[in-house]
Amino acid sequence: MNPRIAVTGIGMVTALGFGAEANWAALVAGRSGIARITRFDTTGMRATMAGCVDLPGDEPGFPLSVSVRCERLGEAAIAEALAQAGLTAPFDGPLCIGMPPVEVEWPQRRSFGATTYPGLLEAATGQAALYEEFLFGGASTRLAERFGTRGVPQTVTTACASGASAIQLALEAIRRGETKMAIAAGSEASLQPETLIRFGLLQALSTRNDTPQTASRPFALSRDGFVMADGAGALILEDEAHARARGANILGYVLGAGEAADTFHRTRSAPDGSAIIRCMQRAMDDAGLAASEIGYVNAHGTSTPENDKMEAMAIRALFGDAPPPPVSSTKSMIGHTLSAAGAIEAAICLLALRNQMLPPTINQEDVDPDLGVDTVPVARPHAFRAALSNSFGFGGQNVAVVLGAA
């Protein structure tokens, strides 16, 4: 018999603000955090807006690297979650965290003045601070050491599902009895010029640059792509008995998780939605819940034509003849925080359950009638006990998490 997994701390940073409460207030108000990018030049780029979390240290022409921004955002979210859980470093459990791949960036690459790679290798040898900054395990290791977590930090990347994969890794570690508690987090800051250009070349991004706040419009007929965003989310997961024994305030539960790899295509779901249906079904099975017990779906809802159509179809299929529960995409306000989205959106589900209130999908002036789901255009009260959070990654890596009310 698996232990129930309680959530005793929640932390969040997005373009809507620092802190779970600030984010929740903005979400319920239907505010957009999307704005024109100012921390680097966007001349000629297809998308010139994003959900930016600019930080002290972003210098003109030399913004903080992906790695450093991920570390700072992750640190803020984890510190908030730990404080709420009444815990301090050292933390007696592992850090499981979704993070993007990192690499040496152009400001650093050109800072040595070399004109070839051999010249660059020669000039750059021994710059230990940059080595530590750009190791793939660098940022998560610094977070692990900052919070004194146990063992190897599990730094997971499943693209846009990474934050949900981190929750799943943490859940499994507790169920296996390896630990009584774990930090499950996601941190994302891939928004740098080359990544923005690369996503633009894939034609995955919204180009509604003139009105950034209307650009992320999941499930709308006029949706034209996703909007990149910075952000981080963190949950403290705990064996329920452990949480109760130490008198912790239980905020909600992670009831289950499911995943399914899609073998069809790198950036598209199988046309019958089979892998994403399987992933949601596995999450509900893992939680021991029937579809009728899911009261809300926080959609992956990226605002790409393809995802939202497939996801709505899969949700309808999952719920069979019964009408599906309300479905909203909070990416309409936050943008797509890629590696962090799964953690941030699980946190939002928990806040929604605590407040018995559904966060909206904004920009629904022209909701796509063929999708057949209630996309919650405005926040509204709702009585429900369980929510499903979807995360579908490039590369066909799909994860769904079921959250429950305290």
**Could you give the CA distance from residue 166 to residue 172 in angstroms, rounded to a whole number?**
10
Q: Which of 70, 160, 279, 349 is catalytic?
A: 160
Nearer to other proteins, 10 or 401 (CB): 401
Of residues 29-58, which lie at the interface with other proteins (CB under 8 A)? 40-45
- Let me know if 382 is a catalytic residue: no
How far CA 190 is from CA of 105, 281, 357, in Å, comes to 11, 31, 31
CB of 355 to other proteins, least distance (A): 32
**Could you give the CA distance from residue 57 to residue 67 in angstroms, rounded to a whole number?**
13
Q: What amino acid is encoded at 210 in this protein? A: D
Query: Of 23, 48, 67, 140, which lies in the binding site for other proteins, with binding defined by CB under 8 A?
Result: 140
Residue 154 as a binder of other proteins (CB under 8 A): the answer is yes
CB of 82 to other proteins, least distance (A): 19
Residue 265 as a binder of other proteins (CB under 8 A): the answer is yes
**Could you give the CA distance from residue 8 to residue 253 in angstroms, rounded to a whole number?**
9
Q: Name the residue among 65, 44, 78, 27 with its Cα closest to residue 359.
A: 27
CB of 168 to other proteins, least distance (A): 8
Residue 323 as a binder of other proteins (CB under 8 A): the answer is no
Of residues 197-226, which lie at the interface with other proteins (CB under 8 A)? 197-202
Residue 340 as a binder of other proteins (CB under 8 A): the answer is no
CB of 233 to other proteins, least distance (A): 18
Residue 121 as a binder of other proteins (CB under 8 A): the answer is yes
Residue 130 as a binder of other proteins (CB under 8 A): the answer is yes
CB of 353 to other proteins, least distance (A): 26
Q: Which of 70, 96, 279, 300 is catalytic?
A: 300
Spatial contact of 218 and 375, defined as CB atoms under 8 Å apart: yes
Query: SS3 for 39?
Result: coil
Residue 114 as a binder of other proteins (CB under 8 A): the answer is yes
Helix ranges (DSSP H) in 271-340: 274-287, 305-319, 331-334
Size of the site for other proteins (CB under 8 A): 76
- Let me know if 242 is a catalytic residue: no
Nearer to other proteins, 238 or 286 (CB): 286
Q: Name the residue among 285, 274, 70 with its Cα closest to residue 162.
A: 70
Of residues 165-194, which lie at the interface with other proteins (CB under 8 A)? 165, 169, 172, 175-176, 178, 193-194
Nearer to other proteins, 227 or 260 (CB): 260
Residue 115 as a binder of other proteins (CB under 8 A): the answer is yes
Residue 128 as a binder of other proteins (CB under 8 A): the answer is yes
Q: Tell me the residue ranges of DSSP E strands in 240-385.
A: 252-261, 296-298, 327-328, 357-358, 380-381
- Please give the full DSSP string across 220-241, using - where no structure is assigned: BTT---B-BB-EEEEEEEEEHH
Residue 158 as a binder of other proteins (CB under 8 A): the answer is yes
Residue 258: phi and psi, rounded to 5, are: -145, 155
Query: SS3 for 364?
Result: coil
Of residues 65-104, which lie at the interface with other proteins (CB under 8 A)? 99, 101, 103-104
Q: How many CB atoms lie within 10 A of CB 241?
A: 12
For residue 59, the 8-state DSSP code is B
Residue 144 as a binder of other proteins (CB under 8 A): the answer is yes
Residue 275 as a binder of other proteins (CB under 8 A): the answer is yes
CB of 175 to other proteins, least distance (A): 8
Spatial contact of 71 and 250, defined as CB atoms under 8 Å apart: no
Query: Of 120, 250, 317, 357, which lies in the binding site for other proteins, with binding defined by CB under 8 A?
Result: 120
Q: What is the pairing mode between strands 386-393 and 380-381?
A: unpaired
Query: Of 188, 262, 311, 368, which lies in the binding site for other proteins, with binding defined by CB under 8 A?
Result: 262
Contacts of 117 (CB under 8 A, 6+ apart): none
For other proteins, which stretch binds (CB under 8 A), given 25-33, 158-166, 211-219, 301-309?
A: 158-166
37-58: string of b/e by CB count within 10 Å (b at 16+)?
bebbebeebbbbbbbbbebeeb
CB of 136 to other proteins, least distance (A): 4
Query: Of 1, 56, 59, 118, which lies in the binding site for other proteins, with binding defined by CB under 8 A?
Result: 118
CB of 325 to other proteins, least distance (A): 26
- Let me know if 300 is a catalytic residue: yes
Which residues have a catalytic role annotated? 160, 300, 336
